[in-house]
Structure 1
Amino acid sequence: MQRIPILLIPLLFLLVRLQAQKAAPLSIGETHTFRSEILRENRTVNIYLPKEYDPAADKHYPVIYLLDGAMDEDFVHIAGLTQFLTMIDTLPPSILVGIANVDRKRDFTFPSAIRELTQKYPTTGGAANFIAFLSQELQPFVKKHYKVNDTSTLIGQSLGGLLATAILLKQPDMFLNYVIISPSLWWDEGALMTMAPFLISQRNIRAHVFIAVGDEGAEMQDAASNLATVLQDARQKELYTNFLYMPKETHRTILHNSVYKALQVLHVKRKP
């Protein structure tokens, strides 16, 4: 009979125990891929649900739409913020919808006649279709499959901030809250900002807007500040604007900390 050294017995017990245990998958949400007839392609969205979410219950939740929302983009860390701010009772339990990109330069920009832009970014100019996708396909999809209320937020950075600004100015009723971070308002030689005062004057905007920019160069900093000023100067009763300059942040680092601030300001205890 072959003897097992006494020092190996604990190791054998550990190996048996480890083999008996099966690792459980770690999940922070759900993923859906569906066909967009407007964009003529499949689109993927990632969904974070509050811990208390029960599809059979009557409770409905605020919904946050995140541009650049793929798993390898900004979905995971913004889902973490959503969970944390809910845990400390700063943010109401909320549903996060991360919109994964296919071609962000196409989807987040409007057509431009500037040759340098069209040569550098040949697929640009599809924002109108993407906005139609958001309003006519994605928002109805979310409302059909999840219990959401009328408190909706859009988060966009850089070109995503450009798109969020365009929606705010042209179709503001699509969302109640707008988080606009380091918007690329330089696009098309600042055409959107040139039109902004006129666009605002054409409608009563009911929205809460949070704009942030970091140490990102005079062009981007001035444009973000000017956007805040134009919105504030409109003096519309239901248009509220917060502007935050974050000098310690860069274009690469600003999103997480600015969204942390924004969700505190825009969502805390506010009814739809």
Structure 2
Amino acid sequence: MIGILPALALAAASPVQSGPEEAIPEPITIGEAYSLDVLDAARQVNVILPPAYEAEPDRTWPVIYMLDGGMEQDIAMGIGIARWNAMWGRSADAIIVGLETKDRQRELLPPTQDAAEAARYPAAGESDRFRQWIAQQVKPLIESRYRHIGTAVLVGESAAGHFVMETWADAPGMFDGYAAISPSLQWNGENLSRRLAKAGASPRPRLYLSLADEGGATETGMERALAAMGEGQAYCFSDRREDLRHATSLHGLLPEALQFLLPTEADWLEEYGLTLRCDRQGQAAD
């Protein structure tokens, strides 16, 4: 009774709960945003912290940088998938940084010599400047203000997937892992995959790749890129040509991509069907 009586007294003293008509809504805060300028436009850099970030002040976290990460783009889906993965132990919980894009072809793709592409996307071709902005402004901001473990991964789909692969090829040290989901490897006559094939094998950070129903030059570009993967390169290729469309590849494969890039030691994943599917893969050299 010693423990029960105070509880009963407290309940009696508490006011009667109001009905739904008296309920006052409270805002839901999921993160914070910075407005930064690059390529003649201000855009949001959205930062979403893990649920335990404030409660565990001594803990540090990996960082996921998500291209096309504006509030009206893919960030809400990315948050949901990353949190769902973490809840099941499928991938490590992380700080999520959404990078808003304004003109995707201009910001995410390199110049093209293809006349039809140039006519359709006349502003395209400034991926190098966008990459420099991430390296020189965004990453230093995040790394100076948030508790991170020093591990950062970059994810993107379609044109953003091409940007991911181009960064992996040309500036591999920017990130510790890369996920290029249905990358637009048809761009500029499949030039990126041709450069990779010509350069030869050179192990770089972990790389997740996938192909959906794109076909054509996107498919041949992917096959060429895969053939260029050398011994000792850690990569996972998920071949979904038979069951995913280009429009559904990001939704379907981001859980796998995060599982590959930010693995955990969970031993129950296979039991629940949360397996990592790598139709072709390579392991890092010891």
TM bucket normalised to smaller: 0.7 to 0.9
Distance 1:223 1:158 in 2: 13
Match of residue 28 from structure 1: 30
| Pairs aligned (count) | 247
SS in structure 2 of the partner of residue 71 of structure 1:
coil
C-alpha deviation, 1:200, in angstroms: 5.1
- 1:216-248 deviation per Cα after TM superposition (whole angstroms, max 9, x unaligned): 2233233223322312xx21x3x2011111121
Matches within 5 A, 1:116-265: 116-199=116-199, 201=201, 204-231=202-229, 234-235=230-231, 237=232, 239-246=233-240, 247-265=242-260
Q: Which moved more, 1:133-142 or 1:115-124?
A: 115-124
1:90 maps onto 2:85 in alignment = no
- The CA RMSD measured in Å over matched residues stands at 1.9
C-alpha deviation, 1:56, in angstroms: 7.9
Q: Which moved more, 1:131-140 or 1:85-94?
A: 85-94
Q: 1:248 to 1:56 in 2, by over 3 A?
A: closer
C-alpha deviation, 1:105, in angstroms: 0.8
Q: 1:18 to 1:47 in 2, by over 3 A?
A: same
Q: 1:56 to 1:244 in 2, by over 3 A?
A: closer
Judge conservation of contact 1:182–1:224 (CA < 8 Å) in 2: no
SS in structure 1 of the partner of residue 246 of structure 2:
coil
Distance 1:227 1:191 in 2: 10
- 1:52-93 deviation per Cα after TM superposition (whole angstroms, max 9, x unaligned): 002982322110111111122111111101111111122222
Distance 1:175 1:200 in 2: 21
Judge conservation of contact 1:225–1:243 (CA < 8 Å) in 2: no
Q: 1:55 to 1:167 in 2, by over 3 A?
A: farther
SS in structure 1 of the partner of residue 98 of structure 2:
strand
Aligned mate of 1:266, from 234, 257, 261: 261
Distance 1:45 1:199 in 2: 34
C-alpha deviation, 1:23, in angstroms: 1.1
Distance 1:206 1:55 in 2: 36
Q: Which moved more, 1:144-153 or 1:122-131?
A: 144-153
Q: 1:45 to 1:110 in 2, by over 3 A?
A: same
- Percent identical pairs in the alignment equals 27
Matches within 5 A, 1:50-65: 50-54=50-54, 57-65=57-65
Give the counterpart letter for 1:150 in structure 2. Answer: G
C-alpha deviation, 1:140, in angstroms: 0.6
Give the counterpart letter for 1:259 in structure 2. Answer: L
Normalising by structure 1, we get a TM-score of 0.84
C-alpha deviation, 1:114, in angstroms: 2.7
Judge conservation of contact 2:36–2:43 (CA < 8 Å) in 1: yes
SS in structure 1 of the partner of residue 141 of structure 2:
helix
Match of residue 103 from structure 1: 103
Judge conservation of contact 1:196–1:230 (CA < 8 Å) in 2: yes
